[in-house]
Amino acid sequence: MIKNNTIAAIATAPGSSGISIIRISGDEAFLVADRVFRHVGGKKLSESPGFRAYFGKIYDKNEPIDEVIALVMRGPKSYTGEDSVEISCHGGILVTRRILECVLHAGASMAEPGEFTKRAFLNGRIDLSQAEAVIDLIDAKNEFAVKSSLSQLDGRLSDRIRAMRAQILDAMSYIEAALDDPEHISLEGYEEEFTPKIVGFIEEIQDLIKNYDDSKVLKSGIKTVILGKPNAGKSSLLNLFAGRDLAIVTDIAGTTRDVISEQINISGIGFEIIDTAGIRQTGDVVEKIGVSRSISAMEGANLLLYVVDSSTELDENDRHILSIMGDRKVIIVYNKTDLSSKVDETELRALSPHATIIKMSAGDGTGFDKLKECMVSMFNSGSIAQNDQVIITNLRHKEALNSALTSLRRVLESIEGGFGEDLWNIDLQDAYESLGLIIGEAVGDDVVNNIFAKFCMGK
Amino acid sequence: MVLEEFCDVAVIGAGHAGCEAALASARLGCKTIIFTVSVDSIAMMPCNPNIGGSSKGHLVREIDALGGEMGKNIDKTFIQSKMLNSSKGPAVHSLRAQADKQNYSRTMRQTLENTENLTIKQAEVSDIVMENGVVTAVKTVSGATYHCKAAIICTGTYLRARCLFGNVINPTGPNGLMSATHLTASLKENGIELRRFKTGTPARIDGRTVDYSKMVEQFGDERVVPFSFTTDPETVQKEQVSCWLTYTNEETHKIIRDNLDRSPLFSGVIEGTGPRYCPSIEDKVVKFPDKDRHQLFLEPEGLYTNEMYIGGMSSSLPEDVQHAMIHTVPGLEHASVVRNAYAIEYDCVDALKLKHTLEFKDYGGLFAAGQFNGSSGYEEAAAQGIIAGINASLKLHGKDQLVLDRSQAYIGVLIDDLVTKESLEPYRMMTSRAEYRLVLRQDNADLRLTEIGHDIGLISDERYSAFLVKKAAIASEVDRLKNTFVGGSAPVQALLASYDSAPLNNRISLADLINRQELDYDKIAPIDPDRPTLPLDVVEEAVILVKYEGYISRQEKQIEQFKKLENKKLRQDFDYTQIKGLRKEAAQKLNLVRPASVGQASRISGVSPADISVLLVFFKMT
């Protein structure tokens, strides 16, 4: 599906500054912006002569979300060469994201990777010499988006979408087969079977959208890996983050045999907390796997939480691990402050000069708030960055679910309006395509192939 | 001394593609010769005895709107007619008529014989002569040379054909006719690779030996709708013959299963790839083991014969098995087989080598149409035939080529699919292949294409003026329905009440009344006193436009988007591996297909939206 309509995206890196910009570009940019923006003086952006800034509020239906400045640029004298609006808002990730959602809901499509730049080029706003760079950008971002989109998707969710798509495909194929071969396949009475199916799909999608809103769906957030020797208290720390018992916590070293992760949200910022088996020279086969996973988990981490058991002295293992962390962003969790201390803080500082040290007790939770504050401030200061693709993927998926929902509702309208079965399929096909976008599957000749696979056709 | 003659266009083959190609070319003023291995078999129907059907009926209407012959010919020779899917939306209504096969063939032959500029030759073409990649002549087996400026290959299933059932292999074309054995070598010498496809046909039985009392009679429609927009509907209201419905059963299936090892399909003797949409009965039994019966339709082959076609029972099983399985079917216990079922294998080309004009990309003046291009079906063949014939003659006249796109016609979908998508089996038209089918209806084929047919020169001025009158009448009736308002007067409320329709509180347009599910155009006649008297087809069209306006306008928006990419043309001599940033798979596919537009490129499997973005940027750059 190739679109050439009005697009929108967040134009600034999330969390990196106090102000975020949402850019809208395309033929209907002003119309879309007017649906969400209310100027203090009641002016319509679509009536603006352009190159002016307007102060007002963004509304989600009737609820004000943020005070913003909307900058109106008329094509061809804009970055993309098209009519554009840039909404500057107050920076926080949740607010920025919500404004973008409203804009998408108002009729814009999520911009493809590199799409603003591509349009700028196609509309002659960028120099020819930059064209190759544009191609590289599309290429690199596309590769990354595809990979990240699939890897971010929770397996259960993609299973649900796949299952629903398979059912939609079967329903469509049945109808198409009957239209193509009405003397072999009859649609009489099919409505009674079909309507509840559509209602079921609608409920399923509503449920999925709710899941997106609760952020349960994407493995999103700042990838934070908990490291430390066996029995340093890593699993207890994870359980604190999760608010429930996830990892098996015992006093026996090496009881966490696998990588366990949890999505959490601190002050609107998503973290993916990953617990690992401790890194230790070991002869235990099972634990060796855990150790190698820990090292690989560390590779892609945005933030490391190194848990030190302050009740036992630092040993070679600690020194080894702290040394392999290198320049990474590290918080040293000086754990078990409820017991008598046997670790010298100055030695830790010497081993890891850039690290922040937080004293706490993961057992009873003392000092945990300090740890969370530290994590948030590192994010806000820009020293750790969330992967912005996650936010984009999330919104893209939600947009796709919403359009699938709209299409399925239209199918019901067609049924209620007494329109023929061939018209049900027009919208059913759209729903099928939208769901395919989430799991990265194109439509191609699915229906035709499925007809041949499932139905006995012809002479 | 060898014979030498001159013509403008040589058409090789006189099946459904060849006939339309030759007629179009000759009617457009090109001196045309049509070659056939048997003059008595012009426009022969070697398989099913019908024209049209779901989506194929659309093709026939479109051929007619462009000035082709198929619709007129079936209107003259049908013996039963039905509008399929008439209870469903107008986009999938589809006309299908049973033909009197011999009459169909004879009538088409007469038309060919009486067309100016057109000559029929009974001869097998063995060579296509090319100089510098341009066609200059065709030669026959006897050595005669026919100099030409364009040649259209319409060899159907005849090229190196062989017919098979059981262990019997006959080196013939369909119906025992001579196959064409020489042309393949000439094409290969010229560098044109061929591949092998397979199709099949069921047995024919003696109608006198059928017990119809065990079957369900299938009647034609009471009111017949003609295929051609030029046929007066009154002339096609005539007595019709019936078809008959019966079923296979477990006993039939057991005989088939027990003898599968004797089928050339399963033993590996058949090399060609068969179509999934008209599987042989043995395929059906193997692939759908849960189905305890399959439908069979007995269709008359014509009024001149007792022969009946057993629709649904195509096979390549041995003769004795065929007879045994036929005799298990209710009503066919004592059926006498006139012709055995058989599978047929033939050489054909990979249509990716063709442009949308149906000219070879690499050979000037060489066109191809029909089953040779990997399609199946009479209608698909005829549709390509008329396009190839038109384009050969336009080329000779130095005019722009005709390409119909996917939003204009099923013909456009058919050809675009053939020249864009790799296909491993004979291609059949289906309504689900047309993404804009709400606008590509059979009822509006004339509105979509008459203008084009007239511009080309295949539609007479007289027919065109009549068309313009119809078009204007439709527009004015739509306008009238939308802009005539009725209020809640007593007669209006009474009429609404009689149909359980909600009473009016405000004024409402006639269009809105028609759109109420419980009402229609005829029902509101009493409260529409100013209604003009209009032909049925005008009313039908106006009502569709009013009733489906929402759907249609949505598709029109999609079509606008589609056209944007379609209008971005690509050079056909470009090496895509040069483009940095294009994935290797995409570059290879693009090199294989050499698309004419970015739109076509986007439909090639293995080319992603990101690849398309790269193309857009790259070509803007160069």
Question: Is A233 found in the same domain as A151?
Answer: no
Write out chain B residues lying below 8 Å of A183, CB-based.
Answer: 84, 295, 297
Give how far Cα B384 sits from Cα of A37, B294, B605, Å.
Answer: 54, 32, 23
The answer to whether A135 contacts B278, with C-beta atoms less than 8 Å apart, is no
Q: What is the pLDDT of residue A285?
A: 47
Domain count, chain B: 4
Residue of chain A whose alpha carbon sits nearest to that of B299: A459
Q: What is the pLDDT of residue A375?
A: 85
Interface membership of B389 toward A (CB under 8 Å): no
Question: Is B356 found in the same domain as B332?
Answer: no
Percent of chain A with pLDDT over 90: 29
Residues of the domain holding A175: 131-211+391-452
Residues of the domain holding B214: 204-343
Say yes or no to pLDDT of A1 above 80.
Answer: no
Interface membership of B202 toward A (CB under 8 Å): yes
Say yes or no to pLDDT of A256 above 60.
Answer: no
Residues 6+ apart with CB under 8 A from B600: B356, B416, B420, B566, B570, B593
Buried/exposed A334-363: b ≥16 CB within 10 Å, e otherwise: bbbbeeeeebeeeebeebbeebbbbbbbbb
Say yes or no to pLDDT of A131 above 80.
Answer: no
Q: What is the pLDDT of residue B423?
A: 86
The answer to whether B92 contacts A176, with C-beta atoms less than 8 Å apart, is no
Could you tell me which residue, A17 or B241, shows the higher pLDDT?
B241
Can you tell me which residue has the tokens 């235990």? A284
Interface membership of A2 toward B (CB under 8 Å): yes
Question: Is A299 found in the same domain as A368?
Answer: yes
Distance CA B173, CA B124 (A): 13
Give the residue from A179, A186, A455 with the most B CB atoms within 10 Å of its CB, the best one to mutate: A179
Question: Is B286 found in the same domain as B225?
Answer: yes
**Is A312 part of any domain?**
yes
Question: Is B152 found in the same domain as B12?
Answer: yes
CA distance A99 to chain B (A): 27
Residue of chain B whose alpha carbon sits nearest to that of A143: B610
Q: What is the pLDDT of residue A239?
A: 80
Q: Point out the domain boundary residue: A125, A143, A171.
A: A125
The answer to whether A183 contacts B297, with C-beta atoms less than 8 Å apart, is yes
**Is A384 part of any domain?**
no
The answer to whether B432 contacts A179, with C-beta atoms less than 8 Å apart, is yes
Distance CA A99, CA B115 (A): 69
Question: For A122, which of B288, B430, B616 is closest by C-beta distance?
Answer: B616
Could you tell me which residue, A198 or B611, shows the higher pLDDT?
A198
Average pLDDT value for residue range A396-416: 92
Q: Point out the domain boundary residue: A125, A146, A177.
A: A125
Q: Point out the domain boundary residue: B343, B374, B397.
A: B343
Interface membership of B294 toward A (CB under 8 Å): yes
**What's B267's domain CATH number?**
2.40.30.260
Q: Point out the domain boundary residue: B528, B553, B578.
A: B553
Contact map slice: A 16-75 vs B, CB within 8 A = none
The identity of residue A290, as a single letter, is: G
**Is A217 part of any domain?**
no
| Other beta carbons less than 10 A from residue A365's beta carbon | 12
Contact map slice: A 398-417 vs B, CB within 8 A = 417
Question: Is A71 found in the same domain as A102?
Answer: yes
Give the residue from B290, B430, B612 with the most A CB atoms within 10 Å of its CB, the best one to mutate: B430
Question: Is B308 found in the same domain as B224?
Answer: yes
Question: For A459, which of B91, B312, B610 is closest by C-beta distance?
Answer: B312
Low-confidence ranges of chain B (pLDDT < 50): none
Question: Is B541 found in the same domain as B577?
Answer: no
Give how far Cα A169 sits from Cα of A173, A443, B78, B611, Å.
Answer: 6, 10, 37, 27
Question: Is B89 found in the same domain as B220?
Answer: no
Residue of chain B whose alpha carbon sits nearest to that of A174: B432
Question: Is B295 found in the same domain as B153?
Answer: no
B33 φ, ψ (degrees, to nearest 5): -115, 130
**Is A331 part of any domain?**
yes
Average pLDDT value for residue range A120-139: 73
Q: Rounding to the nearest 10 degrees, give the CA dihedral for residues B226, B229, B234, B239.
A: -20
Question: Is A25 found in the same domain as A112?
Answer: yes
Instruction: Please list the residues that pair with B118 across neighbouring strands.
Output: B32
Question: Is A311 found in the same domain as A244?
Answer: yes
Q: Is the ipTM of this complex over 0.95?
A: no
Question: Is A256 found in the same domain as A201?
Answer: no
Question: Is A139 found in the same domain as A76?
Answer: no
Q: What is the pLDDT of residue A262?
A: 73
**Is B109 part of any domain?**
yes
pLDDT in tens, A51-90: 999 999 999 888 888 899 999 999 888 888 999 999 999 8
Question: Is A365 found in the same domain as A253?
Answer: yes
**DSSP state string for B111-175:** HHHTSTTEEEEE--EEEEEEETTEEEEEEETT--EEE-SEEEE--TT-BT-EEEETTEEE-B-GG
Could you tell me which residue, A276 or B343, shows the higher pLDDT?
B343
Could you tell me which residue, A14 or B522, shows the higher pLDDT?
B522
Residues 6+ apart with CB under 8 A from A138: A112, A113, A114, A118, B581, B610, B613, B614, B617
Question: For A4, which of B88, B561, B618 is closest by C-beta distance?
Answer: B561
Interface membership of A191 toward B (CB under 8 Å): no
Give the residue from A130, A406, A422 with the most B CB atoms within 10 Å of its CB, the best one to mutate: A422
Q: What is the pLDDT of residue A250?
A: 45
Q: Point out the domain boundary residue: A81, A99, A125.
A: A125
**Is B559 part of any domain?**
no
**Is A386 part of any domain?**
no
Domain count, chain A: 3
Question: Is A182 found in the same domain as A51?
Answer: no
Q: Which of A133, A126, A197, A127 shows the shortest CA–CA distance to A166? A: A197
Q: What is the pLDDT of residue A244?
A: 59
**What's A16's domain CATH number?**
3.30.1360.120
Question: For B517, which of A114, A417, A420 is closest by C-beta distance?
Answer: A417
Average pLDDT value for residue range A302-323: 83
**Is B558 part of any domain?**
no
Question: Is A206 found in the same domain as A58?
Answer: no
The dihedral region occupied by B398, where left means phi > 0, alpha psi between -120 and 50, and beta the remainder, is: left
Average pLDDT value for residue range A226-232: 81
Buried/exposed A34-70: b ≥16 CB within 10 Å, e otherwise: bbbbbeeeebebeebeeeeebebebeeeeeebbebeb
The dihedral region occupied by B90, where left means phi > 0, alpha psi between -120 and 50, and beta the remainder, is: alpha
**DSSP state string for A67-97:** EEEEEEE-TTSSSSSS-EEEEEE---HHHHH
Contact map slice: B 26-85 vs A, CB within 8 A = 47-48, 54-55, 84-85
**What's B501's domain CATH number?**
1.10.10.1800
pLDDT in tens, A164-183: 999 999 999 999 999 998 88
The answer to whether B438 contacts A426, with C-beta atoms less than 8 Å apart, is yes
Give the residue from A135, A139, A184, A411 with the most B CB atoms within 10 Å of its CB, the best one to mutate: A135
Question: Is B431 found in the same domain as B408?
Answer: yes
Interface membership of A134 toward B (CB under 8 Å): yes
Write out chain B residues lying below 8 Å of A452, CB-based.
Answer: 276-277
Write out chain A residues lying below 8 Å of B443, CB-based.
Answer: none
Can you tell me which residue has the tokens 């709708």? B225
Confidence grade of residue A321 (pLDDT, cut at 50, 70, 90): confident
Question: Is B361 found in the same domain as B326?
Answer: no
Contact map slice: B 542-601 vs A, CB within 8 A = 548, 551, 555, 561, 564-565, 579-581
**Is A458 part of any domain?**
no
**pTM for this predicted structure:** 0.83
Confidence grade of residue A382 (pLDDT, cut at 50, 70, 90): low
**What's A435's domain CATH number?**
1.20.120.430
The answer to whether A138 contacts B617, with C-beta atoms less than 8 Å apart, is yes
Please give the interface size between A and B, counted as residue pairs whose CB atoms are below 8 Å apart. Answer: 134
Write out chain B residues lying below 8 Å of A134, CB-based.
Answer: 617
The answer to whether A179 contacts B609, with C-beta atoms less than 8 Å apart, is no
Question: Is B139 found in the same domain as B167?
Answer: yes
Question: Is A312 found in the same domain as A351?
Answer: yes
Q: What is the pLDDT of residue A320?
A: 75
Residues 6+ apart with CB under 8 A from A346: none
CA distance B426 to chain A (A): 13
Confidence grade of residue A110 (pLDDT, cut at 50, 70, 90): confident
Give the residue from B613, B614, B619, B620 with the most A CB atoms within 10 Å of its CB, the best one to mutate: B613
Question: For B610, which of A138, A184, A422 is closest by C-beta distance?
Answer: A138
Residue of chain A whose alpha carbon sits nearest to that of B202: A459
Question: Is A148 found in the same domain as A68?
Answer: no
CA distance B491 to chain A (A): 26
Write out chain A residues lying below 8 Å of B47, CB-based.
Answer: 459
**Is A216 part of any domain?**
no
What does the block give as tokens for A279?
A: 């890194």
CA distance B152 to chain A (A): 29
The answer to whether A420 contacts B84, with C-beta atoms less than 8 Å apart, is no
Q: What is the pLDDT of residue A251?
A: 46
* B178 DSSP assignment: B
**Is A156 part of any domain?**
yes
Strands B94-99 and B50-52: antiparallel
CA distance B578 to chain A (A): 13
CB of B72 within 8 A of CB of B231? yes
What does the block give as tokens for A26?
A: 């395309």
Q: Rounding to the nearest 10 degrees, give the CA dihedral for residues A80, A441, B427, B218.
A: -110
Percent of chain B with pLDDT over 70: 100
B559 φ, ψ (degrees, to nearest 5): -65, -40
* B385 DSSP assignment: H
Q: What is the pLDDT of residue A13?
A: 65
Residue of chain A whose alpha carbon sits nearest to that of B563: A4
Question: For A121, which of B565, B602, B617 is closest by C-beta distance?
Answer: B617
Q: Point out the domain boundary residue: B398, B421, B456.
A: B456
Could you tell me which residue, B165 or A157, shows the higher pLDDT?
B165
Write out chain B residues lying below 8 Å of A135, CB-based.
Answer: 579-581, 614, 617-618
Write out chain A residues lying below 8 Å of B276, CB-based.
Answer: 452, 457
The identity of residue A304, as a single letter, is: L
